[in-house]
């Protein structure tokens, strides 16, 4: 997809395009005072709907609310350009993002553990503010000049029911989404975000998303049944400990209730693996009760007053309630091997309560940002589908069929889960992580190769040139071939073709083509076939080629 014209913005000088997504373009600007590079996300004018404007406002408000967190991309301001396009001015992160890095190299296991804990800190912070991200994937994790990850693209994040009416217009990033979201049983909740976080870490270790088949058909509609029905494959890396393999498998369970109940629980399981591997401990950074960034570290003993103080339960949207028995089972599942049963009466650390809420932060008003929602660059159009959710809203979601609805408000006693985990950590020492299945049958693991699939490099990517397409009769249809001086080894392609004299190419279904510059459109003899092709490079696409036609033989 082509990048639009950059708007003229006060105090900013346009430098170059950075990337393009379904609903927005991203440009690099130079801010005049103070002088520094900034990334500007601009909503596209074509197809701008009220729902997209609302989503864009939500993204601005969400990122502003979470801007203090060190692992969430900071937003500086928002507004509307003179030509009427809403925009966000954000901190600039140089390329590559984590998607591009995972394609180019195999990240070390210890660096993936560190990144996982840092991202889980960011996700936990969002959850404590009642925000579900809904689109966690490698392309949405930028990397600062100092190597710190930055979670971005809150364009489809939601505060419970606040955005439910807009969800039918929102695409889902299929390779990293859990099955209950893909098949309309949930609009996304805490455990869905945790699933996507685990899928992201799996890709950092392997170089492709968990259910891609090297050399196979990895379109969205082929991935979806695999995600629903296939066992989570092993990473196939000898340096990945069995405890991490088990944690990733369990966190990507088909059953939401079998996953870690929160991002901080997932982070603590990663910390336990660090301890098992004798690696330096990565700190979990979350928000305290006053809305300030703090380190959630258990190594210091809380004051007696802190250990005995009782706080009233607080509401969190999107979380699922846990009774004490469930909390103890969850703690046992993720705690180090050899730990005894958690004492249900053990005091909990109030600072670790998963029900803490950040105080209200002044939001970006609609007057300041006449803005709407936006979809960031996805790995390929084939990796994003629309999931119809009317049935979810009408029928709800029962305990037997899926997780709690994202808009429900659940009250959780503070520290229930944390107290059990604390007891396990104290008892377990440096023992290995034991991941039991909690009644779920063990899913067989299948080996996978490290074949790399181009999927997305997010917003910081040059826009490729459109290819030159040729069509010719071939056995069983029409053969398409294409060339371009701008092609790169890792490029992928999308083809759309229509048949018949009145076929509409622009309305035709798009097909993803990998590792080839040739594609056969099957058609009966004598049928006219017209087609276009485009280049997909790291989540950014070229414009479509000129339409070429021929008749099948």
Instruction: Give the tens place of pLDDT for each residue, 347-394.
Output: 334 333 333 333 333 333 333 332 333 333 444 334 556 555 444 443
- pLDDT (0 to 100) of residue 370: 29
User: Residue 19 in contact with residue 28, Cβ under 8 Å?
Assistant: no
Q: Is 301 exposed, middle or buried (0-12, 13-18, 19+ CB in 10 A)?
A: exposed
- pLDDT (0 to 100) of residue 397: 39
- pLDDT (0 to 100) of residue 536: 85
| DSSP reduced 3-state for 512 | strand
Kindly report the number of other CB atoms within 10 A of residue 522's CB atom: 13
User: φ, ψ for residue 211 (rounded to 5)?
Assistant: -110, 15
Residues constituting the chain: 553
- pLDDT (0 to 100) of residue 485: 78
Q: Is the peptide bond before 176 cis (omega within 30 degrees of 0)?
A: no
- pLDDT (0 to 100) of residue 7: 94
- pLDDT (0 to 100) of residue 156: 61
Residue whose tokens read 């393999």: 245
- pLDDT (0 to 100) of residue 170: 54
Q: Is 41 annotated as a binding residue?
A: yes
Cα distance between residue 429 and residue 329, in whole Å:
19
Note the pTM of the prediction, 2 decimals: 0.56
Burial 332-364 (b: 16+ CB within 10 A, else e): bbbbbeebeebeeebbbbbbbbbbbbbeeeeeb
Residue whose tokens read 């950074």: 285
pLDDT tens-digit series, residues 485-538: 778 878 889 999 999 888 788 888 888 887 678 889 999 998 999 999 998 887
User: φ, ψ for residue 352 (rounded to 5)?
Assistant: -100, 5
Between helix 263-276 and helix 109-128 the angle, nearest 10°, is 160
| DSSP reduced 3-state for 310 | coil
Cα distance between residue 498 and residue 547, in whole Å:
10
3.30.70.120, 2.60.40.10, 3.40.50.720, 3.30.70.3290: which CATH number matches 468-551?
2.60.40.10
Structurally, at CATH architecture level, domain 98-359+373-428 sits in Orthogonal Bundle (1.10)
Residue boundaries of the structural domains of the chain: 12-91, 98-359+373-428, 468-551
User: Residue 362 in contact with residue 148, Cβ under 8 Å?
Assistant: no
Cα distance between residue 362 and residue 365, in whole Å:
9
Closest by Cα among 519, 473, 522, 527 to 499: 527
Token pair, residue 475, equals 């056995």
Whole-Å CA distances, 78 to 42, 140, 449: 10, 20, 44
- pLDDT (0 to 100) of residue 385: 61
Residues of the chain with confidence (pLDDT) below 70:
1-3, 47, 155-171, 288-462, 515
- pLDDT (0 to 100) of residue 192: 96
For β-strands 510-513 and 468-474, DSSP reports them as unpaired
Kindly report the number of other CB atoms within 10 A of residue 523's CB atom: 21
User: Residue 522 in contact with residue 454, Cβ under 8 Å?
Assistant: no
- pLDDT (0 to 100) of residue 91: 95
CATH code of the domain made up of 12-91: 3.30.200.20
User: Residue 273 in contact with residue 241, Cβ under 8 Å?
Assistant: yes
Token pair, residue 144, equals 């600062």
Cα distance between residue 288 and residue 129, in whole Å:
11
- pLDDT (0 to 100) of residue 432: 41
Closest by Cα among 498, 497, 483, 499 to 535: 483
- CA 372-381-152 angle, 5° bins: 45
Describe the chain by its helix, strand, coil percentages, rounded to 5: 30, 20, 50
């Amino acid at each position: 997809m082509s990048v639009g014209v950059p708007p003229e913005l006060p105090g900013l000088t346009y430098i170059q395009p950075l990337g393009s997504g379904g609903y927005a373009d991203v440009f690099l600007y130079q801010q005049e005072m103070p002088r520094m590079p900034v990334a500007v996300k601009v909503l596209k004018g074509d197809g701008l709907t009220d729902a997209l404007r609302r989503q864009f406002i939500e993204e601005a408000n969400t990122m502003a609310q979470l801007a203090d967190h060190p692992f969430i991309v900071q937003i500086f301001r928002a507004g509307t350009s003179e030509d009427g396009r809403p925009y966000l001015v954000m901190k600039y992160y140089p390329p590559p993002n984590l998607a591009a890095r995972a394609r180019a190299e195999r990240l070390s296991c210890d660096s993936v553990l560190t990144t996982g804990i840092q991202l889980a800190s960011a996700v936990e912070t969002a959850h404590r503010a009642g925000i579900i991200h809904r689109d966690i994937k490698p392309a949405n994790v930028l990397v600062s000049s100092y190597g710190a990850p930055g979670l971005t693209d809150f364009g489809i994040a939601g505060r419970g029911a606040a955005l439910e009416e807009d969800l039918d217009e929102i695409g889902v990033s299929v390779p990293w989404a859990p099955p209950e979201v893909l098949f309309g049983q949930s609009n996304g909740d805490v455990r869905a975000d945790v699933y996507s976080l685990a899928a992201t870490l799996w890709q950092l270790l392997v170089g492709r998303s968990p259910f891609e088949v090297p050399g196979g058909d990895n379109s969205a509609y082929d991935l979806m049944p695999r995600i629903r029905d296939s066992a989570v494959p092993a990473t196939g890396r000898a340096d990945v400990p069995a405890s991490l393999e088990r944690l990733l498998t369990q966190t990507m369970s088909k059953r939401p209730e079998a996953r870690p109940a929160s991002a901080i629980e997932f982070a603590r399981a990663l910390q336990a693996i660090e301890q098992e591997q004798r690696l330096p401990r990565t700190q979990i950074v979350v928000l305290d009760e006053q809305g300030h960034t703090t380190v959630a570290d258990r190594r210091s003993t809380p004051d007696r007053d802190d250990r005995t103080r009782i706080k009233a339960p607080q509401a969190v949207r999107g979380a699922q309630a846990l009774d004490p028995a469930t909390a103890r089972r969850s703690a046992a599942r993720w705690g180090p091997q050899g730990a005894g049963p958690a004492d249900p009466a053990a005091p909990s650390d109030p600072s670790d309560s998963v029900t803490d809420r950040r105080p209200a932060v002044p939001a970006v008003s609609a007057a300041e940002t006449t803005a709407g929602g936006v979809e960031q660059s996805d790995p390929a159009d084939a990796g994003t589908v629309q999931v119809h959710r009317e049935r979810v809203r009408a029928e709800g979601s029962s305990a037997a069929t899926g997780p709690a609805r994202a808009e429900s408000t659940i009250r959780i006693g503070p520290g229930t889960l944390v107290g059990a985990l604390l007891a396990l950590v104290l008892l377990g020492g440096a023992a290995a992580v034991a991941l039991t299945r909690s009644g779920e049958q063990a899913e067989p693991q299948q080996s996978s190769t490290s074949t790399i699939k181009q999927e997305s490099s997010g917003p910081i990517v040059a826009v490729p040139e459109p290819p030159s397409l040729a069509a010719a009769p071939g056995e069983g249809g029409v053969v398409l071939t294409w060339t371009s001086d701008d092609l790169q080894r890792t490029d992928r392609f999308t083809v759309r073709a229509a048949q018949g004299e009145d076929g509409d190419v622009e309305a035709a279904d798009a097909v993803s083509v990998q590792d080839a510059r040739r594609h056969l459109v099957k058609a009966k003899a004598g049928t006219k076939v017209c087609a276009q092709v485009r280049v997909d490079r790291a989540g950014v696409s070229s414009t479509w080629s000129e339409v070429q036609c021929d008749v099948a033989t």
